A and B are shown apart, each in its own frame.
Chain A
């Protein structure tokens, strides 16, 4: 199938788009002190999985799941006026670091561009091949 390479590039773009979605979620919730479990918002990380396409021997990518980053500790901020503060005056903030998310964002856009370039190059190759017929 001549379109297999294009399909693989599309799965790559899709995965990077989901990574961008996750970064957006993390950045939007950088100050959310209450999530569904009563704890502050926990940073989310996408898990990518390689999927072998037996027909062509190529490997596609897909987002297996979106996991929570439970290893990074919550940020503690001294702010006694905050209603969410504990008895010592500390507020538990999400374990999201905007700087880290920015780097993730740059990785996502660069990888997306790489996949897009692969897609366009593949397309150009197919169209150039058609010029053989035209003579």
Chain B
């Protein structure tokens, strides 16, 4: 029962930004903040890696999680970039 609740709450959260997109902050702004987030994650992962390398490990699980999180974020943003470039090239190839 709880799981259903969480699922529906998440869906509403996903839908809300969709309607807010009409506000001045455009796709560029969105992408910019997203890139900043991913960059932050990558920096955290770098710190985590350094800590593991130096043996200064208090909480291995947390560090591995940071690294994994940054990996997934990076993959997502790479996919978005590829998709955007693909669309751009599709438009360029269009016959006028």
Contact = CB atoms under 8 A, between A and B. Distances in A.
A14 B83 contact: no
Contact of A133 (B59, B62, B68, B80): B80
A10 B65 contact: yes
A28 B61 CA distance: 24
A13 B61 CA distance: 7
Contact of A127 (B5, B6, B65, B75): B75
Interface on chain B toward A: helix, strand, loop, or mixed SS? helix
Interface residues of A, number: 17
Interface residues of B, number: 17
Contacts, number: 36
Given A130-B76, A133-B83, A3 B69 contact: yes
Contacts of A17: 61
A7 B75 contact: no
B75 A10 contact: no
A121 to B, nearest CB: 13
B79 A7 contact: no
A29 B16 CA distance: 56
Nearest to B66: A10
Contacts of A130: 75-76, 79
B72 interface: yes
B54 interface: no
A6 B69 CA distance: 9
A57 B83 contact: no
Interface of B: 2, 5-6, 9, 59, 61-62, 65, 68-69, 72, 75-76, 79-80, 82-83
9 contacts: A6-B68, A6-B69, A7-B65, A10-B62, A14-B61, A119-B65, A133-B79, A133-B82, A134-B82
Closest 5 CB pairs of A and B: A133-B79, A13-B61, A10-B65, A10-B61, A57-B6
Given A6-B65, A56-B6, A130-B76, 5 more contacts: A3-B72, A7-B65, A17-B61, A57-B5, A133-B80
